[in-house]
Amino acid sequence: MTEITSLSLFELIKNIKEKKISSNEVTKSFIDRSEKSKKLNAYVTENFENCLKLSKEFDYKPNFDLKLPGIPIAVKDLFCTNEVRTTAGSNILNNFVPSYESTVTQNIWNEGGILLGKLNCDEFAMGSSNETSFFGNVQNPIAKNLVPGGSSGGSSSALAANLTPITIGTDTGGSIRQPASFTGTVGLKPTYGSCSRYGIVAFASSLDQAGPMSKDVKDSSILLEVISSFDKKDSTSIDFQRNNYSSELTRNIKGIKIGIPKEYRVDGMPSEIENLWKKGIEYAKDCGAEIIDISLPHTSYALPTYYIVAPAEASSNLARYDGVKYGLRSSGESLIDMYEKTRSEGFGEEVKRRIMIGTYVLSSGYYDAYYLKAQKVRQLIKKDFDEAYNKVDAILTPSTPSSAFKIGEKSNDPVSMYLNDIFTVPVNLAGLPAISIPAGTDKNNYPLGLQIIGKPFDEQTVLNIAYSMEEKINYKNNITDWWMK
Amino acid sequence: MTIDLKTVKHISKLARISLEEKKAEKLADDMNSIFEFIEKLNELKTENVEPLASIAKTTLRFREDKITSDNIREKILKNSPEKNDDFFVVPKVVE
């Protein structure tokens, strides 16, 4: 039999239900592999002992009607987990142990999932390479000293290295899709309002959305079905009829109209990305889709808009970290002095940079010129998509403008780091669902992803297109376990 | 437009983040390169565009004004850096 850790979630569930393997055996396998993979630095906090205990309890009294029966799952350390340390990759939350559970993780435990551990991420999800984490870089299992993408870099690394069968990330400007693209895995950002934000450490509240990351499209559909729910505890959660995404999954996309936006052909885009996109268009045609050229004229304004909106919301959200009620406290002469020292020592450079930008654009005299302006351009970006969706059912683009880069290569130049998210950011500004699927490799054999963007609440079409194309692309990661040698 | 050192220091006061002189200079440089990139938005005329604050079209829901949690005082105090009985302790504020 294939190694347990390389099975898909779907296969694991099947084997557990057929009593071919127990939850405890599965859990042991993933823990064993995780123990041998510490060099990847994917975990911030391990929950191994408790996970083993809960898997035994599951096996003693199994419930095979659950959607994730006894499946161990490691999650991004941005989700609050009751009684398990939650750091958001930051020194300021280094000692924080929540007394409540995020809705998304609670949904997973309710369906039989068991917490394996908390995965590394960029500090407060601010980054595209996992290099801003207080807990250090994460290695991409694809090759040594390669970033796993970010901010859900621990998640993508653990997933690609088979340390967890599936995982969840959060996506504010590409933080699920870009790391999925860099590691040859699948990552889905659902429509804004699909998955509850309750208990997720907030970054930019009008953009943040949790979503599944998995080894294949079917697994993402299973996990989305579990985590997507209406939640009164999130004021922007949306009450709509959710599909049974996994049972409604089909490869039949005949006649579906897929748009190709010419504005995504950006200057200086490597030819291998261009070629990947062309190949993707051919695959989509082979699957029976109709290809239509479209225009999203304000695409090039998305990134500047994002770098006003996201830091502004972040500066407001992160005002709560003041050293009074929880988290790190530095000593100070006065209350204000304590605040300033706590925040200076507790936050890393990138987080401080974004708080400063956000504070500046919201400060007296600058609000109209920056924040209001950005909100207006955000409207134009959303209208571009609204108009495109009068003609097409979905949009196909590359996920990222390049493959994974080396650790340290871009960490000193914030703007060049931000450009990583050029294809993913417009989707967050418009609140749309989008998936990244592995579609090929570059000259170094590093994975490259394609992005499928859907209409609001139409995750099913996005998943179906991805499922259909995935079969034609037939991508396989080549992981050599170099970190174990 | 350029952001000078004085502005950076003012903003760091507003953001309640203490900054060393050297770090402030680096931050000014970073902020200037980021704002140079943001200035691109000025190419667009937006006088007649409605600002978009949130994608969720619904207005925020009201909830009943009633307590829904049990007695969670201890849970809340558990993470506090410094406490005294049932209070959070901070440096002296009033002389």
Q: What is the pLDDT of residues A243-259, one digit of tens each?
A: 999 999 999 999 999 99
The mean of the pLDDT values for chain A is: 96
Give the mean pLDDT of A370-382. Answer: 97
Look at residue B83 and tell me if it is in a domain: no
Number of compact structural domains in chain B: 1
Measured distance CA(A154)–CA(A392) in Å, rounded: 35
Q: Which residues of chain B, if any, have pLDDT below 50?
A: none
Put simply, the answer to whether A301 touches B41 (Cβ < 8 Å) is: yes
Residue A449 has a pLDDT of 98
Put simply, the answer to whether A379 touches B79 (Cβ < 8 Å) is: no
Measured distance CA(B36)–CA(A413) in Å, rounded: 14
Measured distance CA(A295)–CA(A431) in Å, rounded: 18
Look at residue B19 and tell me if it is in a domain: yes
Look at residue A280 and tell me if it is in a domain: no
Closest CA–CA distance from residue B13 to any residue of chain A (Å): 8
Contacts of A336 in chain B (CB under 8 A): 16
Which of A109, A427, A79, A43 shows the shortest CA–CA distance to A436?
A427
Put simply, the answer to whether B78 touches A335 (Cβ < 8 Å) is: no
Put simply, the answer to whether A192 touches B56 (Cβ < 8 Å) is: yes
Q: Considering CB atoms only, which of B16, B33, B72 is closest to A415?
A: B33
The CA angle B18-A131-A444, to the nearest 5 degrees, is 155
Residue A415 has a pLDDT of 81
pLDDT at position A394 over 80: yes
Q: Which residue of B has its CA nearest to A300?
A: B40
Tokens representing A110 are 């309710």
Give the mean pLDDT of A342-355. Answer: 97
Put simply, the answer to whether B15 touches A359 (Cβ < 8 Å) is: yes
Contacts of B72 in chain A (CB under 8 A): 99
Residue B58 has a pLDDT of 66
Put simply, the answer to whether A315 touches B75 (Cβ < 8 Å) is: no
pLDDT at position A418 over 70: yes
Which of A163, A337, A338 shows the shortest CA–CA distance to B82?
A338
Look at residue A302 and tell me if it is in a domain: no
Alpha-helix residue ranges (DSSP H) falling in A118-253: 153-160, 177-183, 217-227
**Would you say A462 and A188 are in contact if contact means Cβ atoms under 8 Å apart?**
yes
pLDDT tens across A117-155, in order? Answer: 999 999 999 999 999 999 999 999 999 999 999 999 999
**Would you say A92 and A135 are in contact if contact means Cβ atoms under 8 Å apart?**
no
Measured distance CA(A257)–CA(A17) in Å, rounded: 38
Q: Which residue has the higher pLDDT, B63 or A215?
A: A215
Put simply, the answer to whether A363 touches B56 (Cβ < 8 Å) is: no
Longest alpha-carbon distance in chain A: 69
Count A/B contacts: CB-CB distance under 8 Å: 157
User: Which one of A233, A337, A357, A380 makes the best mutation probe of the B interface by having the most chain B beta carbons within 10 Å?
Assistant: A357
pLDDT at position A1 over 60: no
Look at residue B68 and tell me if it is in a domain: no
pLDDT at position A192 over 70: yes
A305 touches chain B (CB under 8 A): yes
In the block, residue with structure tokens 């417009």: A426
pLDDT tens across A280-326, in order? Answer: 999 999 999 999 999 999 999 999 999 999 999 999 999 999 999 99
Residue A107 has a pLDDT of 98
Give the mean pLDDT of A213-233. Answer: 97
CATH number at residue A448: 3.90.1300.10
Residue B15 has a pLDDT of 98
Give the mean pLDDT of A414-441. Answer: 94
B83 touches chain A (CB under 8 A): no
CATH number at residue B33: 1.10.20
Measured distance CA(A301)–CA(A146) in Å, rounded: 29
User: Which one of B90, B92, B93 makes the best mutation probe of the A interface by having the most chain A beta carbons within 10 Å?
Assistant: B90
pTM higher than 0.90: yes
pLDDT at position A39 over 80: yes
Which of A121, A379, A342 shows the shortest CA–CA distance to A129?
A121
Note if the bond before A315 is cis, omega within 30 degrees: no
Look at residue A470 and tell me if it is in a domain: yes
In the block, residue with structure tokens 């068991």: A114
Give the mean pLDDT of A170-197. Answer: 98
Contacts of B15 in chain A (CB under 8 A): 315, 343, 355-356, 359
Note if the bond before A157 is cis, omega within 30 degrees: no
Domain assignment of residue A437, given as a range: 14-259+391-484
Number of compact structural domains in chain A: 1
Checking DSSP bridges between strand A434-441 and strand A114-119, what pairing results, if any? unpaired
Rounded to whole angstroms, what are the CA distances from A256 to A389, A395, A468?
Answer: 12, 11, 12
**Would you say A426 and A176 are in contact if contact means Cβ atoms under 8 Å apart?**
no
Contacts of B38 in chain A (CB under 8 A): 304, 307-308, 370
Q: How confident is the model at residue A412 (pLDDT cuts 50, 70, 90)?
A: confident
**Would you say A191 and A459 are in contact if contact means Cβ atoms under 8 Å apart?**
yes
Measured distance CA(A111)–CA(A71) in Å, rounded: 9
Domain assignment of residue B33, given as a range: 5-43
Give the mean pLDDT of A4-12. Answer: 98
Q: Between helices A23-35 and A48-60, what is the axis angle to 10°?
A: 170
Checking DSSP bridges between strand B83-84 and strand A447-454, what pairing results, if any? unpaired
pLDDT tens across A67-86, in order? Answer: 999 999 999 999 999 999 99
Look at residue B77 and tell me if it is in a domain: no
Q: How confident is the model at residue A411 (pLDDT cuts 50, 70, 90)?
A: confident
Backbone angles phi, psi at A364, to 5 degrees: -50, 125
Residue B1 has a pLDDT of 63
